[in-house]
Chain A
């Protein structure tokens, strides 16, 4: 405590001195990039929906705190457009580039080219397959573990589960590893049904499958659906079958509509584990700032998630994502990549 106060004092003195000599802005922490006119580009594959919007807000806030000028390139879910935009960004000459989603196959050679041209690159949730490009991810293992631990806390360690899973999707595969381990550790946990699809509209398709599953296995008490679109589908099926009181849904991710669904009276959806997309945006910019400052953030940067329960949403009267950010501190800030020199938003 004493130490940090002293440090702050020292900083304050330093910044007053700076103000006196250069007239620079006084800040608690001074960005190493302040006044250098450095520019970064955010080339994003996903442009529509809650996630990219929140993610971008985090990127903006952290870039502003660091005094970095930010340009956003919107590929609108089109891999070919993302490719040309990355090409354009390399040519225009930025100091750093943040890739958001996309595909290894369509980005790798250009990302390599950017690195060769001295541009610092970080990638969020896409593997650029280059040791010099740190990859920022949410911690999918921890997400699954926290939801499942809550399920054990609520239901003990012997129950029959319905499991929604589609193989081949990297975050779902990572979440599946945790569930597989858990079933080995607790033989009382029995997966009686496994289903899933990514056909649109996902919740409807899942609801049809889940309806059949619940009819065939009326003794299911826990539904583990490590993706929120799946959970929406299960909830539809549970509601239609009138099973809300006997089945509990544990999921991953969170959005405005998820919060509403979890808070419906008697909702079976009792818990989810998620990382705030805005935090991931901030951490991505911080990882880039590490590189631009000549430091190494590590090849994998994971952002720890937060458990969100129905009980907590009701107790704090959280109606949407804004409320969640405002009322749950662990959801709105993260100490991932926060050295002393890093100004925070």
Chain B
């Protein structure tokens, strides 16, 4: 019985993923086509990148609620630099990444120096950014040829190189965002699981005081976690802008919840019962497979939300209910 429980904890979610894939491919033969597999991966890539960022903050027992709005703000800033300043690809990307670093540092400052609880600090940051992203354009979306407040037309456009990031496919099949997501997943995995820094971060997460007494630079690593989270979110924002080809005020609304859900589902992958990079990526994939399959079977969106919630709840029960590490 214990054995069964161990297996359920360890492989439950992977079995669920496999079952879903089998079910959808029987119901809709087009589901398993190579193109659709990459459509799924493309659709989860941005969420997965955000989930990887949250994972870093979760590792140090923090929580970044501002990822969605950081991504949205980066998207708007990158679009602004390109459309309004006609600044070109590199400037747009650097600006967006700068936004990520800055947001991470401020989040770190609030939680470390000002001792604001993580949830509250990043919630505040979320609201701040939601408003801030609309200030430069007075609440409007940014698109090529938009008219500025002075009445003249914006000079710039989305460059081919920038759109390449969100739309191009390597070898005509692998979307660029998927490649970026996989690279970031591997880097995050190696960093968290295979370096001393990663182990220190988990140590801080499980017992901050003990880690501090053992000589870990707690404050430094908390900053590192938030800057990682901010930068990952801004990479997500860049890819989002490149994908839709405009700075769209309503895009990015769902990113926070989907990213956090993926990271939390990730707790349950392989019985880790803690935040982990590979789990977050698989969690995002699970949600992506589910949504793609349900969309293909033409289920209405509210059912999809319901089922997404159901999977999250089930995954959390796997993690906390069945796990022996329950504290």
A: residues with CB less than 8 A from B are 47, 71-74, 76-81, 83-85, 87-88, 91-93, 103, 105-106, 109, 167-168, 198-200
| Smallest Cβ-Cβ distance to A106: which chain B residue | B244
CA distance A168 to B144 in the complex (A): 12
CA distance A168 to B137 in the complex (A): 13
6 interchain pairs (CB within 8 A)?
A: A87-B42, A103-B143, A103-B246, A103-B248, A168-B147, A198-B140
Partner of A76, one of B39, B139, B298, B301: B301
- Residues from chain A with a CB closer than 8 A to the CB of B254 are 78, 81
**Given A87-B39, A93-B30, A78:B253 Cβ within 8 A:** yes
CA distance A85 to B243 in the complex (A): 13
- Residues from chain B with a CB closer than 8 A to the CB of A198 are 139-140
CB pair A91–B244 under 8 Å, yes or no, is no
CB pair A85–B295 under 8 Å, yes or no, is yes
CA distance A88 to B167 in the complex (A): 15
CB pair B139–A199 under 8 Å, yes or no, is yes
CA distance A83 to B30 in the complex (A): 18
- Residues from chain B with a CB closer than 8 A to the CB of A76 are 301
Describe B's contact surface by its main secondary structure: loop
- Residues from chain B with a CB closer than 8 A to the CB of A168 are 140, 146-147
CA distance A71 to B246 in the complex (A): 27
Task: Enumerate B201-217 residues with CB–CB distance to A below 8 Å.
Answer: none
Partner of B244, one of A88, A93, A103: A103
B: residues with CB less than 8 A from A are 28, 30, 33, 35-36, 39, 42-43, 46, 138-140, 143-144, 146-147, 151, 158, 167, 240, 243-246, 248, 250-251, 253-254, 292, 295-296, 298, 300-301
Partner of B296, one of A78, A92, A106: A92
CA distance A103 to B146 in the complex (A): 13
CA distance A53 to B22 in the complex (A): 34
CB pair A105–B246 under 8 Å, yes or no, is yes
CB pair B246–A79 under 8 Å, yes or no, is yes
- Residues from chain A with a CB closer than 8 A to the CB of B138 are 199
CB pair B300–A74 under 8 Å, yes or no, is yes
| Smallest Cβ-Cβ distance to B301: which chain A residue | A74
CA distance A36 to B43 in the complex (A): 33
| Smallest Cβ-Cβ distance to B138: which chain A residue | A199
CA distance A282 to B73 in the complex (A): 39
CB pair A88–B147 under 8 Å, yes or no, is no
- Residues from chain A with a CB closer than 8 A to the CB of B253 are 78
**Given A105-B158, A106-B244, A106-B245, A92:B251 Cβ within 8 A:** no
